[in-house]
Amino acid sequence: MSKDIREFSSKVSGEKLTRDMKKYLNLALELGATDARKIGVDEIILDERVRARCYSPRCPDYGTNLNCPPHFDWDLEKTRELINNYKYAIFIMLKVPPEEQTGREYTNPKHPVPGARKMYEIVAKVQSAAFYDGHHLALGFAGGPSCKRVFCSAAECRGIKGEGCRMALKSNPSMHGAFMDAYSMASEMGWKVYPIGKTTESSQIPHALELGLVIIR
């Protein structure tokens, strides 16, 4: 059965916004998130050093897709100005088995990353729900590896050739690609974050994390 579509209104009451935000928190959890929190945009931590990590050490996904630098070309000030036009966001966390992100095989494009794919899908569905509820300017940001790694690891990105993204309704820029310090934000939420590198063994940490953000209104 198709869902009802609400008439768009440029004015949203505080009561409706509170009700809708609760709905999106519950939706994220129903879709499999471990936790989700309503935050103010003043809790989104921006730091130009986050984007620098795309370059040093150079990420293998750099330049391979629309949602990574240099094709995703927002600068820090543009990101800050955009975020300041909003008040609230949904910050989403998913615990994943440590073996998804640890070990030298993690950088192999064939290494499975189902947790990352799930986070992309959760973010996209929360963003879509907000759109159909009248929050037409909702923006989603995934975490973890790039959309290229998650959806199109075996194919060249059509988007950077001007042919349109294959996964346009599921792929989003990453938080770190938009200068968002997702790890610090997660730590502020009380979520346990562990540093993971090539030499990290899965037995050394209890879990890894995937993080996502949807800015609503």
User: Is residue 143 a contact partner of residue 212, using CB atoms and an 8 Å limit?
Assistant: yes
Q: What is the pLDDT of residue 2?
A: 60
Instruction: For residues 37-47, give the mean pLDDT.
Output: 98
pTM greater than the 0.85 cutoff: yes
Stretch 154-182: mean pLDDT? 94
Give the confidence band of 104 by pLDDT, cuts at 50, 70, 90. confident
Q: Where are the beta strands (DSSP E) in the chain?
A: 35-40, 88-96, 139-141, 208-215
Torsion on CA atoms 38, 177, 210, 32, rounded to nearest 10: 60
The predicted model gives 65-75 an average pLDDT of 94
C-alpha pair distances (Å), 26 with each of 18, 129, 180 = 13, 12, 24
Name which residue leads in pLDDT, 25 or 6: 25
The pLDDT mean for the chain works out to 94
The residue with greater pLDDT, 38 or 108, is 38
DSSP 211: E
As a whole number of angstroms, the distance between CA 62 and CA 66 comes to: 10
Selected residue with higher pLDDT from 5 and 129: 129
The answer to whether residues 138 and 87 touch, using CB atoms and an 8 Å cutoff, is: no
| DSSP state letter for 65 | S
Give the pLDDT score at 105. Answer: 86
Name the band, by pLDDT with cuts 50, 70 and 90, for residue 198: confident
